[in-house]
Chain A
């Protein structure tokens, strides 16, 4: 293993994160606070509690997941797309690094950033609502797994994209709707039967449900299923990344 290379890529990416700290930390914290004000205060005034959890607290795991997904994808996709766009990828391609080391560097950094943001949002939320975390180990596990999985997914998007527009396409048109419809702000059983059934094909439902279970012990679907779904998606992303590096798709001509 070429650990100095992993460290170099990881360090490079984290430096970019701190350099743009205002954008990378303050923006998600601000938007999450706005969600609290709008959803927590406005809706929370009418919906007192869901399954025994006060509405303000109920939405916290969903909001963290929302940030985790969008930040993981945005950081990882930009991280690998930009060198391809600027041409600096030549150095990575000509360096004595294996695909695994490249992925560890880029995905590791993207996941670190989104976990950091997730924790900052959790801390911010704790200022607004009383929180309890029933299964902290599982909470960390879901946080880690989701961050890694969606950073891998973002890395794939960054490899696939051939323009800045495409880079935004998947996050805007697929991930954001899935996240909003994934039960960030409501329990799935509050939906009419048709939509409830449809929700079960939305992978984000399983993430939010499992994550929320680690907080309050209540879930839309079984926590085992949630975990299995995350691991399945992780395996799919790993497979796709392996295939890309093996074939050189979009990386080498």
Chain B
């Protein structure tokens, strides 16, 4: 199936000389939730801003639902809803007015029933006649989402949707995003919270210093996440893994002073009990043990580390 967003050789150099994006290639699949993960200043917002038409690219080509964002900008932009990172709202407007305004801006006729549905979904219906300036930060975030949904977009960009948002709203937001996905909306969210990507995404992309360094199915990343290691510190070093233990996935480390067992936490059984029984039978004593897990966080930190 044709990707809904296709980014080819995209680069951006700001007037200041800062190269925010270098040769970015990325394809977003129709109907997926894609999480773009990266540290601050990695280029997440620049990437989103270019796709949405707020920042001019220095080079490259972007198609949104088959429409070139430069040549066919009307069709491309109509497909997109954007929830910006900053809480930029028209303070003096009412929730209803600002949401209706957004719908008109995107070229659609007024549809009070749709606006009502959006506001109810976001628990904003009671606040529809309130001025935005009287709302809390979390409510303002909801208003921005309502504005982005007012023109029934097929693609929704959420730039750091849960930055500075309390747990309840975060849960609400995730529920809403899943609901939109179920309606066929493609969702692209940026975040630097790994658990958010874990919780929400179908696929994860990692961006560092303006380059996409990894795009992978979340399930694949989770498989890596699920891998765990048990390290046994031996009382006396071994030269090789004894044949009696060859049935276990064992490796020697620290010059034979450590025995490392790799297993899957989701495996049933994990094989630890059997290993320990076999170790006792082989007469191998250990002085200490520890377990370690390659979390998505570790993978992520490894990937984005300066010297990585």
Taking beta carbons and an 8 Å cutoff, which residues of A are in contact with B? 2, 4-5, 7-9, 11-12, 15-16, 19, 86-88, 90-97, 248, 252-253
Contact = CB atoms under 8 A, between A and B. Distances in A.
B15 interface: yes
A90 B73 contact: no
Interface string B135-147: 0000000000001
A253 B88 contact: no
A85 to B, nearest CB: 10
A95 B106 contact: yes
25 contacts: A5-B104, A5-B106, A5-B107, A8-B105, A15-B93, A19-B92, A86-B91, A87-B84, A87-B88, A88-B88, A93-B52, A93-B53, A94-B52, A94-B54, A95-B77, A95-B105, A96-B73, A96-B74, A96-B75, A96-B76, A96-B78, A97-B105, A97-B107, A252-B54, A252-B56
B121 interface: no
A248 B84 CA distance: 20
A4 B74 contact: no
B14 interface: yes
B265 interface: no
Interface residues of B, number: 35
A50 to B, nearest CB: 45
Interface of B: 14-15, 52-56, 73-78, 80, 82, 84, 86, 88-93, 97, 100-109, 147
A96 B77 contact: yes
Given A95-B77, A248-B56, A90 B88 contact: yes
In the A-B complex, the 10 residue pairs with the closest CB atoms: A8-B104, A87-B88, A96-B74, A96-B77, A94-B52, A2-B107, A95-B105, A4-B104, A93-B54, A5-B105
A91 B86 contact: no
A90 B82 contact: yes
Nearest to A105: B105
Contact of A92 (B14, B73, B93, B105): B105
Contacts of B76: 96
A252 B89 contact: no
Contacts of B93: 12, 15
A2 B55 CA distance: 22
Given A8-B101, A9-B105, A253-B15, A94 B90 contact: no
